[in-house]
A = this chain, B = another copy of it.
Amino acid sequence: MNDFIFHNPDKVYFGTNQLGHLSEELLKFGKKVLLVYGGGSIKKNGLYDSIVTIAKNSGIELFELSGVEPNPRHSTVNKGAAICKKENISVVLAAGGGSTIDCAKGIAAAALTENGDVWPLVSGGVWVTKALPVVAILTNAATGSEMDAWAVISNMDTNEKIGLGGSALIPRVAFENPEYSYTLPPFQTACGAFDIFNHVLDNYYLAGEASFDLLLEMQEAVMRTVVKWAPVAMNEPENYEARANLMWASSMALNSILDGGTVHGCACHAMEHELSAYYDITHGHGLAIVTPRWLTYILDETTASAIYRLGTQVFDVPKGLNEFEGAKKAIAALSDFCFGTLGLLPTLTDLSIDETHFKAMAEHACISGSITGPKVLTPSDVEAIYKMCL
């Protein structure tokens, strides 16, 4: 078991009736607020109007950056940072899903750099310790950005999608109202759910004997919750219980309560980021295609027992089987969940992706030479896994 530090000062207002606290929280940082949002869904569901009214009634001066992309671009981030610099913004308010919050985090970091450009921070792997405060209003259970220290920013000029991390990027306050996710269609709900699942799995002890039982237990609790409630949310989009369980699972998956000294490999995320960087596919869908293949690829005598445990604890794989047999059944159960229950197309071929860029993508996924995790993956391993996804 490794030593670890847990520190997450984010203040979360969870539930249907919390937006009344927005102005008091924003005003702790100042009166000039940059509102960041995406394609306008917050205009349809009334959230935009609520924010404007709250700002007006409390003397907050609201500036806006709209049109944040599903994989937010560095160029959009830089536009926001320019507004912050010009208008002397005191706090960045994100209203949307993970992409919008990630964009707001990038803005908050870039706004305090000399030239207001986020890309040198991203590509340079800078750990951000200075940023404007970020407040997030979450509308989609998926990325965990509402409680984590990370943002993923894409540069479509160079086909790069890279994480930007830093303690200063943890939102100071997050509002999580499950009702805001009622309008999410089944496909987006499924992709978000699998993103959550994979965040936990990427931290799960898949190699060797686990020594931190409580951590495994809590990780399995979150994964079971996703498996149980994702299909309910897909079939009954306005089921509050389903939306609330998924939304809180999203936060639990990445607020580092489930870290506990595990060595983050994030193998699937590293491989998937290349897919969405090259093909702009939905992140959770890419993850669902990659994950079962990755598990199959790394299955050996060092990982079999943990993969089997995943099957028995999170899915319905019976106990008492031979470890390898059990692990294979676990991977089959996970595939059923992804491509049956969640209804996601199962191959890259289905998404019109062929092996053209696999070699380049595999090399970029292993930007530091390899991907760590239960098995160290070299570029040729990653390429082989991509090919299994065809």
Task: Name A's B-contacting residues (CB within 8 A).
Answer: 1-18, 211-215, 217-218, 220-222, 224-225, 228-229, 240-241, 244-245, 248-249, 252, 257, 260-261
Contacts and interface: CB of A to CB of B under 8 A. Distances in A.
A245 B210 CA distance: 12
Nearest to A241: B211
B212 A245 contact: yes
A12 B3 CA distance: 11
A113 B211 CA distance: 46
Nearest to A257: B257
Nearest to A5: B13
Contact of A6 (B11, B213, B217, B240): B11
A384 B1 CA distance: 46
B218 A214 contact: no
A144 to B, nearest CB: 14
B7 A11 contact: yes
A4 B11 contact: no
Nearest to A4: B14
Name the residue among A18, A241, A261 with the largest chain B CB count within 10 angstroms.
A241
B2 A6 contact: no
Contacts of A14: 3-6, 260-261
A-B pairs with the 3 shortest C-beta distances?
A3-B15, A217-B221, A9-B9
Given A7-B11, A214-B222, 11 more contacts: A1-B15, A3-B15, A6-B14, A9-B9, A14-B261, A214-B249, A215-B248, A217-B222, A217-B225, A221-B221, A248-B260
A214 B220 contact: no
Given A214-B252, A221-B214, A221-B218, A15 B261 contact: yes
19 contacts: A1-B240, A3-B14, A5-B13, A5-B18, A6-B11, A6-B14, A8-B8, A213-B241, A214-B221, A214-B222, A214-B249, A217-B222, A217-B224, A217-B225, A218-B218, A218-B221, A218-B222, A220-B221, A248-B260
